[in-house]
């Protein structure tokens, strides 16, 4: 495994996320924790793969790693390691820091002992997220020092440095990435790894118990630490000026925007100095002040919120620098929406400096591409659950949904997603709707989501006797983010055997009286279970239990079992089109003569469609070896 075995000095190609894992290994990380979420997932998945590889090779795994129940737990577990003097890393997507924020805010007060790096992976343009919040605000809000890499090499180097700085300041460090930095692949130079400590020791300290008296004493300490962090930022190797021209033009950028800005300057042939900021909180004020003084025009390029821009304007005002014009979001040139690319930056630079944009105008001549919305896989058990449920429910049912593959049920023809806020919100919203309306409520969540954030809402449903059906689509994995384990699986992130909690046992333990477990591939059984759940007065839970089809295919291949192949008997087919217009499996397609067929390359052999066809026109025709 190259990320582990590569020799010192060698350059290897790594994703930005993989480079962060390599940086942690080089820094001698002892603990790594996460709740998986794109665009951060590969950081933890690489830790998991490394642990399994080393075990397979008969070598000791030098770190502890876990996929925690949620991000708050992940942060707390890693904080405990840090309190014991060990180096720890916690990674999550941007919205995960919302979940962890209760612990995070107070953690900054008490500080850490062993270095602790908290990776927050932001998602401009909402590629795989319910919002595109800018987590640089968490650095300001929590008084947390923060680094922002632009490349995989920087991602690795900053991770190593963040551990050192964390121990120097005795503060956790935020490492903020964005989707493009997380998922770009680039050359990374390998260095020697520090040996982890392995085991720490927790020394009791009354200042770790944040009663109000302690918190009042810790807050001034945090302020002082951030003053020390400012000195480090002023002299950081990650804050540099690129270019030594005598141009009056300056550009300030951070993260991936640095690369976009440099490319835009090259395309336009503009001479400018670029202040590349990598240690962005606290911002190096003296460095910024000097940069502003040397340039008549400064353009700030940063994705999402005008955080650096506003700080630069404050610095200029306080220093009495009145002869510099600062362009950015507040000047109306750059948007607070979505991620940037070189085309966007070139366009705005051209407007600011009154230049001709040499790039083609894609707005006048847009590329015409066919729409390809994401869909649930052929054979996905969630489709069967939705189809069976819709056969027996009234039309005015409301469907609160959640974060996962099953959210794709929002699209036609299933259309079983009416409201979504965040992980676990399906059950809480179901509770409220059951009281606020007279409509029937059926909510949906996955098994990983269930353990992550839904238990308190189910307790609320039981205590207040909310009349709603809460559905757990239990496919035995955290499917959408890469099939990571969770508390319902029989193994952990390091490949060790683990206690698997059954969803149905947990909800019964919470006091739910009406609980049914069904196999969604049996449509009749599943429909009847939903009908009984709707008729029950009070909270009921339907656990729709069937493995993710991709896991099932993998297991079949491991066992040497064949895959069933189905086709449509064209003589028996009445062209009712239910298989397409209501069931919606993407393996079905219309031929030119409007007859319906099954694409054998897409079909995963689940056989549910046999039950869907009212004319028995779908038949198993053969078996193939996987």
DSSP assignment string, 91-129:
EEETTHHHHHHHHHHHHHHH--SS-EEEEEEE-TT-SSS
Q: Respond yes or no on whether the N-terminal peptide bond of residue 425 is cis (omega within 30° of 0).
A: no
Decide: helix, strand or coil at residue 601. coil
Instruction: Output the pLDDT for position 108.
Output: 98
Looking at the chain, the whole-number percentage of residues with pLDDT higher than 90 is 96
Band the pLDDT of 361: cuts 50, 70, 90.
confident
Query: Which whole-number Å values give the CA distances from 473 to 70, 104, 382, in the listed order?
Result: 18, 31, 7
Instruction: Output the pLDDT for position 83.
Output: 98
Cα dihedral angle (308, 311, 317, 320), rounded to 10 degrees?
Answer: -70
Q: What is the mean pLDDT of residues 37-66?
A: 96
Band the pLDDT of 246: cuts 50, 70, 90.
confident
Cβ atoms < 10 Å from Cβ of 17 = 28
Residue 540 backbone dihedrals phi, psi, to 5 degrees? -130, 155
> Quick check: 244 pLDDT over 80?
no
Instruction: Output the pLDDT for position 373.
Output: 83
> Quick check: 364 pLDDT over 80?
no
Instruction: Output the pLDDT for position 369.
Output: 79
Instruction: Output the pLDDT for position 527.
Output: 98
Q: Which of 138, 465, 182, 128 is nearest to 280 (CA)?
A: 138
Instruction: Output the pLDDT for position 579.
Output: 96
> Quick check: 507 pLDDT over 90?
yes
Query: Which whole-number Å values give the CA distances from 168 to 82, 90, 145, 172, 237, in the listed order?
Result: 13, 19, 12, 10, 16
How many whole angstroms separate alpha carbon 409 and alpha carbon 402?
11
Band the pLDDT of 370: cuts 50, 70, 90.
confident
Cβ atoms < 10 Å from Cβ of 544 = 29
Instruction: Output the pLDDT for position 100.
Output: 97
Band the pLDDT of 141: cuts 50, 70, 90.
very high
Mean pLDDT of the chain: 96
Band the pLDDT of 245: cuts 50, 70, 90.
confident
> Quick check: 205 pLDDT over 90?
yes
Instruction: Output the pLDDT for position 2.
Output: 94
pLDDT in tens, 389-440: 999 999 899 999 999 999 999 999 999 999 999 999 999 999 999 999 999 9
pLDDT in tens, 71-93: 999 999 999 999 999 999 999 99
pLDDT in tens, 262-289: 999 999 999 999 999 999 999 999 999 9
Q: What is the mean pLDDT of residues 370-382?
A: 90
Letter string b/e over residues 118-138, b meaning 16 or more CB atoms within 10 A of that residue's CB: bbbbbbbbeebbeebbbbbeb
DSSP H helical ranges for 2-85: 2-5, 16-26, 41-56, 71-83
How many whole angstroms separate alpha carbon 515 and alpha carbon 502?
12
> Quick check: 466 pLDDT over 90?
yes
pTM of the model: 0.94
> Quick check: 368 pLDDT over 90?
no
Instruction: Output the pLDDT for position 427.
Output: 97
Band the pLDDT of 171: cuts 50, 70, 90.
very high
Q: Is 344 exposed, middle or buried (0-12, 13-18, 19+ CB in 10 A)?
A: middle
How many whole angstroms separate alpha carbon 31 and alpha carbon 27?
12
Q: What is the mean pLDDT of residues 504-517?
A: 98
Letter string b/e over residues 233-269, b meaning 16 or more CB atoms within 10 A of that residue's CB: bbebebbeeebeeebebbbbbbbbbbbbbbebbebbe
Domains and CATH numbers, the chain: 2-234 (3.40.50.970), 240-352 (3.40.50.920), 381-554 (3.40.50.970), 562-624 (3.30.70.20)
Band the pLDDT of 626: cuts 50, 70, 90.
confident
Residue 507 backbone dihedrals phi, psi, to 5 degrees? -70, -35
């Amino acid at each position: 495994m190259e990320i582990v075995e590569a020799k010192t000095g060698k350059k290897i190609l790594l994703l930005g996320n993989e480079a962060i894992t390599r940086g942690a290994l080089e820094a001698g990380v002892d603990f790594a924790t996460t709740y998986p979420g794109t665009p951060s997932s590969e950081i933890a998945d690489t830790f998991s793969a490394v642990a399994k590889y080393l075990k397979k090779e008969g070598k000791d795994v030098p770190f502890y790693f876990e996929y925690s129940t949620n991000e708050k737990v992940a942060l707390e577990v890693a904080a405990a390691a840090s309190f014991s003097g060990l180096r720890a890393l916690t990674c999550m997507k941007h919205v995960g820091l919302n979940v962890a924020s209760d612990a995070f805010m107070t953690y900054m007060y008490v500080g850490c002992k062993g270095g602790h790096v908290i990776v927050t992976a932001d998602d401009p343009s909402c590629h795989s997220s319910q919002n595109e919040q800018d987590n640089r605000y968490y650095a300001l809000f929590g008084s947390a020092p923060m680094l922002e890499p632009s490349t995989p090499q920087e991602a690795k180097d900053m991770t190593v440095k963040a551990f050192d700085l964390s121990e120097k300041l005795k503060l956790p460090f935020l490492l903020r990435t964005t989707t493009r930095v997380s998922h770009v692949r680039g050359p990374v130079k390998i260095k020697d790894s520090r040996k982890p400590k392995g085991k720490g020791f927790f020394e009791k300290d009354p200042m770790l118990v944040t009663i109000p008296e302690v918190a009042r004493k810790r807050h001034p300490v945090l302020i002082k630490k951030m003053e020390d962090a400012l000195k480090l930022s002023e002299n950081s190797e990650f804050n540099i000026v690129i270019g030594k021209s005598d141009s009056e033009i300056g550009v300030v950028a951070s993260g991936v925007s640095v690369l976009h800005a440099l490319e835009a300057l090259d395309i336009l042939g503009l001479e400018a100095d670029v202040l590349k900021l990598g240690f962005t909180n606290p911002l190096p004020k003296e460095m910024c002040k000097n940069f502003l003084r040397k340039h008549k025009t400064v353009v700030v390029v940063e994705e999402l919120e005008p955080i650096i821009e506003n700080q630069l304007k404050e610095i200029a005002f306080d220093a009495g620098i009145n002869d510099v014009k600062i362009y950015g979001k507040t000047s109306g040139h750059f948007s607070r929406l979505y991620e940037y690319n070189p085309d966007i930056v070139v366009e705005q630079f051209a407007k600011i400096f009154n230049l001709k944009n040499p790039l083609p105008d894609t707005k006048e001549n847009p590329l015409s591409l066919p729409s390809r919305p994401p869909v649930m896989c052929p054979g996905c058990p969630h489709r069967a659950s939705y189809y069976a449920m819709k056969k027996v429910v009234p039309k005015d049912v409301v469907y609160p949904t959640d974060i996962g593959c099953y959210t794709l049920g929002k699209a036609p023809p299933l259309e079983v997603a009416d409201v979504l806020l965040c992980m676990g919100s399906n059950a809480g919203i179901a509770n409220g709707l059951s009281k606020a309306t007279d409509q029937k409520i059926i909510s949906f969540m996955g098994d990983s989501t269930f353990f992550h954030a839904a238990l308190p809402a189910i307790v609320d449903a039981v205590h207040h006797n909310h009349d709603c059906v809460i559905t757990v689509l239990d496919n035995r994995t955290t499917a959408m983010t890469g099939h990571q384990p969770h508390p319902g699986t029989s193994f952990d992130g390091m490949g060790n055997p683990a206690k698997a909690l059954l969803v149905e046992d947990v909800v019964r333990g919470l006091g739910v009286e009406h609980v049914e477990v069904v196999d969604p591939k049996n449509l009749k059984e599943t429909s009847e279970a939903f009908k009984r759940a709707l008729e029950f007065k009070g909270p009921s839970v339907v656990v729709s239990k069937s493995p993710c089809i991709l896991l099932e295919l993998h297991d079949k291949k491991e066992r040497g079992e064949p895959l069933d192949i189905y086709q449509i008997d064209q003589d028996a087919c009445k062209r009712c089109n239910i298989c397409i217009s209501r069931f919606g499996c993407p393996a079905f397609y219309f031929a030119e003569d409007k007859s319906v067929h099954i694409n054998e390359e897409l079909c995963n052999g689940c056989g549910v469609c046999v039950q869907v066809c009212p004319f028995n026109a779908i038949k198993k025709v053969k078996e193939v070896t996987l």
